[in-house]
């Protein structure tokens, strides 16, 4: 009996050990592993030639790997006829081809950074293994860079097709011959290509429907087709992806939150510019809009104060909505619903409108404080809004209140606000009426407002020696300046806060004021653009001279 019990316990222990080892999971205990896994060998080796068409690929790692991460991270180009099968161990990956490889063909295998060890650490960079079934490797390469923020570099794919005389709508029905991504700095490289023409474009498929359509990011090089070349004659291809405008604005939510007050949420970001020419319609008539405003904390929502009450369950839609790309769009329809009303006034972040229209907080004779709310409101006294200089023995800054619309008012100072001040604003809500609800409001709202000292500002001087006018954009935290840069003429950008800037420019070939990243036709091209090669540091009380902006790579 004891002998049988002993064998039973040993059998259960052995079975539990097997089941435990079979599960992929993070290892617990011991020193935390943060090091990236490494590939220690491959068969065949990189850049091998005269490889047997019935070869099998083996890749070995220096530690145990998460087996499930191989399938999505592995790509082989060109795609082998008949496909391939994967076999995995803890420290190795084997790839067997279902049919013989093509003769005299260069194959490119990549494992991207999503391959992980059991601790979740990915490879430091994409692993590339090139080999040829002929006596030579292809010598062609494509290099370039993607301009844009980290999301564009991280989420988009570069798709390369051997067919270069076919519309992209037709190409998308076929798998790309090569799919790759830029690195974290936006640079991309694809080596070992046949020296021939290809079609290259960038696509961030944000709605994941495998089609280039509205709300995706799309871009292509300045020249529609590209040619893979050897190192001695390489061309650096530049791509600047831009958002594809939707044909229509889809309404996500329409709700009435007061008798004549509607909130609408859309699939496109709402800006003050997008509200300037918007029109609202119901099933029976056009609804006049008394005031329109954006919503704090929700860039896809707008608040509309209507002159007429819309009945519940009526269908409503928009016309003339301008999206962030500058296109005028109409919307689909949605039924209106009436939830509970709002009972508290909220103010958006207070902005200062300067004479030159910039966002710099440098006072001028026409400085105004824009007061925006989530509800229509009426100021019954100028003293409802006050600004106080927080310096010792300071006096209140007097001014008057002017109505912009039912949800936006301007405070106009009677005297010039000095620069370099820390100001405090406050609103006495007892001097405010909110006609749409009558509920008691918060008794006092306070906040801070600062202005920039002239002594903290600098100037940027530059010149470009091309032959065309550049539409330029100078960006930094909290600042976005646009200007035209004529060839051969010095240009001064003044009143810049002392910080780091990036500079870009493009030639507006179609004259629409917007950068065109190229359409889908095989003969299409993007508008030429240039990026200043380094960050620009502006110093206070200093003229930063960039000299000549060289527009050649």
Question: pLDDT tens, 281-310?
Answer: 988 789 999 888 888 778 888 989 888 888
- For 510-521, the DSSP string reads TSSSS-----SS
Flag whether pLDDT at 317 surpasses 80. yes
**64-68, 343-347, 353-357 — which is least confidently predicted?**
353-357
Fold: same for 39-132 and 140-243:
yes
User: So where are the chain's domains?
Assistant: 39-132, 140-243, 248-335, 351-452, 455-549
Domain 39-132 fold is: Immunoglobulin-like (2.60.40)
Decide which of 432 and 32 is more confident.
432
The dotted CATH code for 455-549 is 2.60.40.10
Q: Looking at residue 26, what is its pLDDT?
A: 45
**Calpha distance 329→279 (Å, rounded):** 11
Residue with tokens 């001040």: 421
Residue with tokens 């023409």: 197
Q: What is the value of pTM for the model shown?
A: 0.67
**Calpha distance 516→241 (Å, rounded):** 9
Q: Residue 152 burial (CB < 10 Å; 0-12/13-18/19+)? A: buried
Confidence of residue 15 (pLDDT cuts 50, 70, 90): low
Quote the radius of gyration of the chain (alpha carbons, Å).
31
Q: Confirm or reject CATH 1.20.1050 for domain 140-243, answering yes or no.
A: no
241 in helix, strand or coil? coil
The dotted CATH code for 248-335 is 2.60.40.1220
At residue 548, φ and ψ (nearest 5 deg) are -85, 125
Q: Looking at residue 98, what is its pLDDT?
A: 94
CB neighbours (10 Å) of residue 478? Answer: 10
Residue with tokens 């009450």: 309
* Mean pLDDT calculated for residue range 460-479: 89
**Calpha distance 361→367 (Å, rounded):** 9
Q: Looking at residue 370, what is its pLDDT?
A: 85
- Helices and strands of the chain, counted as H and E runs: 4, 45
**Calpha distance 447→462 (Å, rounded):** 39
Tokens of 79: 């795609």
Q: Looking at residue 339, what is its pLDDT?
A: 57
CA 260 to chain centre: 36
Architecture of domain 351-452: Sandwich (2.60)
CB neighbours (10 Å) of residue 176? Answer: 20
Q: Looking at residue 360, what is its pLDDT?
A: 58
CB neighbours (10 Å) of residue 233? Answer: 8
**Calpha distance 211→218 (Å, rounded):** 11
For the chain, percent of residues with pLDDT exceeding 90: 27
Does the bond joining 78 to the residue before it have cis omega, within 30 degrees of 0?
yes
Q: Looking at residue 252, what is its pLDDT?
A: 87
């Amino acid at each position: 009996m004891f002998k049988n019990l002993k064998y039973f316990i040993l059998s259960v222990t052995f079975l539990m050990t097997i089941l435990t080892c079979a599960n992929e999971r993070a290892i617990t205990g011991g020193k935390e592993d943060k090091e990236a896994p490494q590939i220690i060998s491959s068969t065949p080796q990189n850049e091998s030639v005269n490889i047997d068409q019935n070869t099998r690929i083996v890749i070995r790692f220096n530690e145990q790997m998460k087996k499930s991460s191989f399938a999505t991270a592995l790509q082989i180009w060109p795609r082998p006829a008949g496909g391939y099968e994967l076999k995995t161990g803890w420290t190795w990956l084997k790839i067997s081809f279902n049919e013989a490889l093509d003769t005299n063909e260069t194959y490119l295998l990549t494992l991207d950074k999503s391959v992980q060890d059991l601790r979740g650490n990915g490879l430091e960079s994409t692993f590339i293994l090139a080999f040829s079934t002929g006596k030579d490797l292809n010598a062609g390469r494509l290099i370039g860079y993607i301009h844009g923020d980290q999301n564009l570099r991280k989420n988009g794919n570069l798709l390369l097709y051997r067919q270069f005389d076919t519309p992209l709508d037709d190409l998308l029905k076929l798998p790309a011959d090569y799919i790759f991504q830029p690195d974290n700095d936006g640079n991309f490289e694809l080596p070992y290509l046949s020296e021939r023409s290809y079609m290259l474009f960038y696509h961030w498929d944000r709605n994941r429907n495998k089609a280039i359509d509205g709300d995706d990011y799309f871009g292509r090089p300045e020249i529609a087709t590209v040619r893979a070349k050897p190192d001695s004659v390489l061309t650096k291809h530049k791509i600047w992806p831009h958002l594809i405008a939707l044909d229509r604005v889809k309404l996500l939510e329409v709700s009435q939150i007061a008798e004549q007050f509607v909130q609408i949420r859309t699939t496109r970001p709402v800006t003050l510019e997008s509200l300037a020419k918007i029109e609202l319609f119901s099933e029976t008539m056009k609804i006049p809009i008394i005031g329109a405003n954006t919503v704090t904390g929700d860039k896809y929502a707008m608040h509309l104060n209507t002159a007429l009450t819309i009945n519940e369950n009526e269908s409503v839609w928009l016309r003339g909505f301008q999206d962030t790309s500058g296109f005028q769009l109409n919307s689909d329809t949605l039924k209106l619903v009436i939830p509970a009303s709002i009972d508290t006034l909220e103010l958006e972040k207070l902005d200062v409108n300067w004479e030159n229209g910039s966002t710099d907080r440098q006072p001028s004779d026409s400085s105004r404080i824009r007061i925006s709310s989530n509800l229509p409101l009426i100021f019954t006294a100028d003293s409802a809004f006050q600004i106080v200089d927080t310096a010792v023995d300071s006096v209140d800054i007097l001014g008057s209140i002017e109505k912009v619309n039912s949800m936006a008012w301007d405070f106009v100072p009677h005297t010039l606000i000095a620069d370099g001040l820390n100001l405090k604003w406050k609103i006495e809500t007892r001097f405010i009426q909110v006609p749409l609800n009558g509920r008691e409001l918060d008794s006092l709202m306070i906040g801070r407002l600062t202005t920039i000292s002239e002594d903290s500002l600098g100037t940027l001087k530059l010149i470009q020696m091309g032959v065309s006018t550049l539409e330029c954009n100078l960006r930094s935290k909290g600042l976005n300046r646009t200007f035209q840069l004529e060839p051969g003429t010095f240009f001064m950008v003044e009143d810049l806060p002392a910080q780091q800037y990036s500079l870009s420019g493009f030639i507006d070939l179609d004259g629409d004021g917007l950068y065109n990243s190229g359409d889908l036709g095989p003969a299409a091209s993007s508008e030429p653009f240039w990026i200043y090669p380094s960050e620009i540091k502006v110093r206070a009380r200093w003229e930063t001279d960039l000299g000549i902006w060289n527009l050649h790579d």
